[in-house]
Structure 1
């Protein structure tokens, strides 16, 4: 097997046996070949206590208050000492309400300081925090409360009606409801009338002040959270994560920065806007708390996200591809509509900086003149203090990553992980262009190997380009699915290897590149395998595309797609082309619009050198975006393919019928 710059081979490759396919060697990060890094705390309770003692006067949790016109002011922070006081009171109040150690407590609402206080109160009393979602389906809140046997639930005012709707069917387990915000009188009365104890957040703190209780420190091996994953099919599964596992993820984040010369400390800030109910954001927030750093919570409006970023001036900008796609589209639309001189200057600077980045220059030395003239001004829109940009949750389109590397004036990296691995399994080396379009090598506490998938021609022992399913082992891994040993046994081997279901290759430097989900790779009728997520990344390069879902199956010999066009781009094109109709009122039904968008998909496909069978042959246009609310995307914005197929099956059938009809007509000619 080859050797890699960023990998240390820890165990040899595994040959194929009668019941197991072959697997690559076991690899660790080259930085930990002599042993894993450690931290000074063993649980999240210990971590937060240490920070509150060490940094009592530091800014801790902040938010923006709004005036009578609804305009947000500057971020206002509470100190670590002030937040600690609230945590102690909230924890004491939970004890007064009869919540016992090791019981579950639900939290339902958008990111805010109260969310974090509730979570730290759970850590303090050895309770297990259970994020609640209504985005997992209509009955998800009820399902998660009952399945987890949560005995109390924190809830935002906004989500209170959705929680109250579930309460008649959760009475056997749930007893108390605590809401933050002004509350809704009807919802509060409805919950009280059916026997629930309902308190406002301020009433909870007052109860805790009146009845103080000593902490119940958790043990490292005890659960701190059960996170229900959305998945793309089936009922949500409760991922059990211990204090030790989340601490390992926090350790990983700090160690990665140390090894990659990204220097963060107690003066830094992060913006909390990705769902705190997901492990990706939770780990990063716990990490910032471990440093005594500050967390600012967004307004909850994606259209005001850049405004929140500018107001907070974060040191770390963490996002998912959908957020970065919007940033790319927004800035490029402005560039394309700028004067010829400004557009030419931007494109010249962009090309020059990207060229030198690809030659191995650091982001600070690739094009300092253009940084000062152009790109620093773009970066200033994001606060001007970003030290690193991290994308996770799904693959970032290569053209968007290149764009961010140029305009952000900071290292831009992709990471990879799952809820089951605490979201921190791989991350690209900072400022290393060789790792562009990859998720890098394993993080400091992760071991991995690739396992061959013979049916899909994936050979983990290929000496040139090993390819296979990613298997992960490490201290950050989950302990299993709650009340679902059968589901656990399907993905976790007896020696700890977790099967991710993701197919990857190892690049020549030792980074891994996720090719697709194992279940998302399908065979066309002529026998060719298609990695559909990779194709969708290519097709999203077309600026006219807002969202795209590519479809094919083993009974057809070509691919079709459903596209949600970018409204601004397609309406501008239509105006110039003399095509009438509104975006929601007939424009997308015009054959000329359909043909234009199909031609753009074909163009970017050919530019990316896609094979003939990977080129889209027909497209259906829809003005309604795929959304979590419509059950067409997971809360982390991955496409729910079975649900998309169910919605568009008639459209798919019609496209294939039309394709075959045209082929038949050509044959007759």
Structure 2
């Protein structure tokens, strides 16, 4: 993107839209607002496929590293590819077979013709999804982190009658069969031995299910071909379940136009070479990766899947040499930390590294430029080689990332590193995106995307208003063709999320700067997202921990730049005295405040308290990321007097954090303990 862009007007306020209690509506400063009626816009997912197929017909499309040995596990050093033409044939086979099964009544019976996919990222995931898009079927993705209960809930809620699954999940599905009467057919994506297939077939029949291999489904479709059935913009394409933090997951109903126009919006300002290659490792069950892969298809690009092992991700990158690396802070922070360790070497090496970093940072902040002829060759080429040496676009989404890391990645990778794609399942991972060559974009998620309007609505309870100086602040609300209109069979949550004017209330507090870039600064509800993208309900976790007599009060804190949560605990004096006395080898009475205060600082006491609350977490079935990893013990209670409790005795999170900021920051400075 040329530097002639209006960097001082990245989002513009639409005249006449400002109302009391909210900002004006902001739109993209270059492209304005696009929708399904904009000339040339992609309106359905099969249109995206048509474009990719036309560009790429005989070129590589989906790649993987084949397993060359299972013991020890070893993968081929190079990628094996399916072309667009081959995938076109196979999506017709799969789609024809499924359509026949639905027509005959073997599958179906729900409100929508839903089909589940439960697999890690791999070529077959995309083949099935493209088949579903091409034959008016509705995809529902299942994924591991949801847990068994959620899988059972989704199968029933979405009325799944068929699921394409990898062999490792099939036993779970067969055991669940009695509890999920809608399920009729399980298709194994993996190539398995005839003995294993026979065994699974017999087990499936015993629980009243049909078992098929992927090859059998394709063979049936080949023998009974049906031409693809065109989609239309309002047709439901997918029900995408988001991890519920307090109860069951919510099913976001996404139509073809939501996903297609979101994809089209992300193409604006996208600079990737022809036959660009994406490294796919973020879960395809999540919306962020799906939209990135749809963008790649729309330009006839290639998608190479990782081996499934995070420890081999860099090995995969070096074999694939991708141009496009959609990522998350957790992975990018590791790249940064590894580079900094190397750079902090003693002597001349360290001095050269520091000089190279400073020179490039100065240039970045002055001009937005990220390349440097000398330093890229001498210093940064090695860092670039870690990801294959060809990265031209790296995106960070799903959680916040620090300004320091963003700026370093821009200069080290010497390419566009965009934060943003700030979005949720509800708006197809599309709301705002930073612009290339914007020298001060780090720390913001950029301006409104072309498909969106954004406004901020006052949150008086938290002290955020549209009149705040220097920048307006408030709950970030978004509207556009990419936004969903309903949670499946869930009127209550739909009404809370989408108002009568079509604005989706994200629950995030945003701020808009003088040039129209947005920044996420808080959560309206006490639900926040950790660095790896997992949501945690802080209040729910506090309530569970409070059940133990040791804890008089607890404040659980999460930081969007960290992957774990910490807590400030005010222990019950009687319980604390009983714990501390034997540990410290002296009798301490519950009234001896100085001795109890000293005990709170003692590592043995802190470790004992950690042990107690870890047990509580396990007993209550808290997930790893919901478990408090470090604690600070204090005798100062949270109260109305010190402004950390509301009159209804709820913790005022912002004030509680302010009170213990130094202590909480010190806990995070220690890093995440590897084992409790």
Q: Which one of the candidate residues 99, 105, 108 is aligned to 1:95?
A: 99
Deviations 1:590-615 (A, max 9, x none): 967999x9xxxxxxxxxxxxxxxxxx
In structure 2, the partner of 1:86 is 90
Do the aligned partners of 2:485 and 2:502 also contact (CA within 8 Å) in 1?
Answer: no
Change beyond 3 A, Cα 1:327–1:93:
same
Q: Write out per-residue CA displacement over residues 344-387 of structure 1, whole angstroms, 9 at most, x where no aligned residue.
A: 221221122112212234112xx432112101221122111111
Q: Is 2:496 the counterpart of 1:490? A: yes
Q: Which residue of 2 is the match for residue 344 of structure 1?
A: 351
- TM-superposed CA distance for 1:158, in Å, is 2.3
Residue 318 of structure 1 and its aligned partner are, at CA, apart by 0.7
Q: Decide which of 514, 529, 549 is 2:565's aligned counterpart.
A: 549
Change (3 A) 1:57 1:201: same
Change in 2 beyond 3 A, CA 1:47/1:411: closer
Query: What CA distance in whole angstroms lies between the structure 2 residues aligned with 1:146 and 1:35?
Result: 37
CA contact (8 A) 2:232 2:256 kept: yes
SS state at 1:235 partner: coil
Answer yes or no: is 1:281 the counterpart of 2:289: yes
From the superposition, tell whether residues 239 and 309 of structure 1 become closer, same or farther in structure 2 (CA, over 3 Å).
same
Q: Which runs of 4+ in 1 moved over 6 A?
A: 553-556, 589-595, 618-624
- Equivalence for 2:65: 64
Mapped partners of 1:531, 1:657: distance in 2 = 16
Shift of 1:658: 9.0
Give the secondary-structure state (helix, strand or coil) at the position aligned to 1:150: coil
What is the SS of the residue equivalent to 1:253?
helix
* Partner Cα distance (2:522, 2:175) in 1: 38
SS in 2 for 1:89: helix
**1:147 aligned to which of 123, 133, 157:** 157
Counterpart for residue 644 of structure 1: 627
Query: Secondary structure of the residue that 1:499 maps to in structure 2?
Result: strand
**1:282 Cα deviation (Å)?**
0.7
C-alpha deviation, 1:401, in angstroms: 1.4
CA change 1:471–1:163 in 2 (3 A) is same
Which of residues 203, 206, 212 in structure 1 aligns to 2:219?
A: 206
Q: Distance in 2 between matches of 1:462 and 1:138?
A: 45
Q: Which residue of 1 aligns with 2:520?
A: 514
- Offset of 1:141 from its aligned partner? 1.1
Per the alignment, residue 300 of structure 1 pairs with 308
**Matches of 1:433 and 1:97, distance apart in 2:** 55
How far off its partner does 1:56 sit? 1.2
CA distance in 1, matches of 2:84, 2:513: 44
TM-score (norm 1): 0.78
CA contact (8 A) 1:414 1:438 kept: yes
For the 8 Å contact 1:136–1:631, the answer to whether it is kept is no
TM-score by length of 2: 0.77
1:241-286 deviations in Å (ceiling 9; x for gaps)? 00001011110111132xxxx2x24311001110001111111111
Give the whole-Å Cα distance in 2 for the aligned partners of 1:215 and 1:256: 32
- CA offset digits 1:90-117 (Å, max 9, x no partner): 0111123234694100000100010011
How does 1:421-500 map onto structure 2 within 5 Å?
A: 421-500=427-506
- 3-state SS of 2:519 partner: strand
Q: Are the aligned partners of 2:452 and 2:478 in contact in 1 as well (CA < 8 Å)?
A: yes
| 2:188 corresponding residue in structure 1 | 179
1:575 aligned partner: none
Instruction: Quickly say closer, same or farther: Cα 1:163–1:452, change in 2 above 3 A.
Output: same
Are 1:256 and 2:256 an aligned pair?
no
Q: In the alignment, is the contact (CA less than 8 A) between 2:10 and 2:29 conserved in 1?
A: yes
Q: Deviation of residue 130 (structure 1)? A: 0.2
CA deviation profile, 1:63-114 (whole Å, cap 9, x unmatched): 0112124322211111111011110000111123234694100000100010
Distance 1:273 1:307 in 2: 13
- Report which stretch shifted further, 65-74 or 122-131: 65-74
In structure 2, runs of 5+ residues without a counterpart are 1-6, 528-537, 540-554, 573-599, 639-658, 660-676
Aligned to 2:231: 218
Gaps of 5+ in 1: 17-21, 524-529, 541-546, 557-588, 598-617, 634-638, 664-669
Match of 1:121 among 131, 138, 157: 131
Name the stretch that deviates more: 115-124 or 177-186.
177-186
Distance 1:593 1:57, change over 3 A: farther
Cα separation, partners in 2 of 1:39 and 1:163, compared to 1, 3 Å: farther
Separation (CA, whole Å) in 1 of partners of 2:512 and 2:557: 19
| Cα distance, 1:398–1:164 mapped onto 2, change above 3 Å | farther
CA displacement at 1:216 relative to structure 2: 2.3
Q: 1:655 to 1:39 in 2, by over 3 A?
A: farther
Offset at residue 14 of structure 1 (A): 3.9
| CA displacement 1:633-666 (0-9 Å, x = unmatched) | 6xxxxx5xxx436xx7xx85x8234999xx9xxx
Distance 1:630 1:252, change over 3 A: farther
Cα distance change, pair 339–620 in 1 and its aligned pair in 2 (3 A): farther
